[in-house]
Amino acid sequence: MSRTPDVPQHYPTDLWNSQRTKYNEYWRHFNGDWLQETVGDSGQLKYPLKMNPFSMPCLMHAGFLFGEVQDGDSPLAKTVIEPWNREAADTKRDHATQLTDFINRVWTENSGRSLQQEAGIVSQILGGCVFGVAYDPSLEDEGRIPIRI
């Protein structure tokens, strides 16, 4: 029995391979690998100054994305949950406050600040970012909420 699942016939393998090639090229430009290219057989660098015009704008845009934030371990972008109705009952407002605190605590316990900063940079390079969330019961042993980002 194979541990690798069969790829469904309708899965867009060609499309994904094409996209992955683009992503590799974007990373190559961001990290400056393309600056190592040489001219012909001489071994002379094609770009001898090795100045990467792609990395700094990506880092600057990622910095502008979150603006000026306070130092600390809280996430760069905090979640605020509000009831649909602005004149909602106090119980709904209390529930919204509890959910807000819960989500921000999950972010904080999972180093959300650094995850969000990294996501800001990745989104500048690749055009977007997605977070995965998983239940992790081992975190309860550490006194944390058992959710891993």
Where do the DSSP E strands lie in 1-149? Answer: 38-39, 44-45, 134-135, 147-148
Residue 4 predicted with pLDDT over 70: no
Q: Among 59, 28, 23, which Cα is nearest to 37's? A: 28
**What per-residue confidence (pLDDT) applies to 1?**
44
- 91/57 Cα distance (integer angstroms): 46
- 130/16 Cα distance (integer angstroms): 16
**What per-residue confidence (pLDDT) applies to 87?**
74
Whole-model pTM: value is: 0.78
- 120/129 Cα distance (integer angstroms): 8
Task: Find out whether 47 and 32 touch, Cβ atoms under 8 Å.
Answer: no
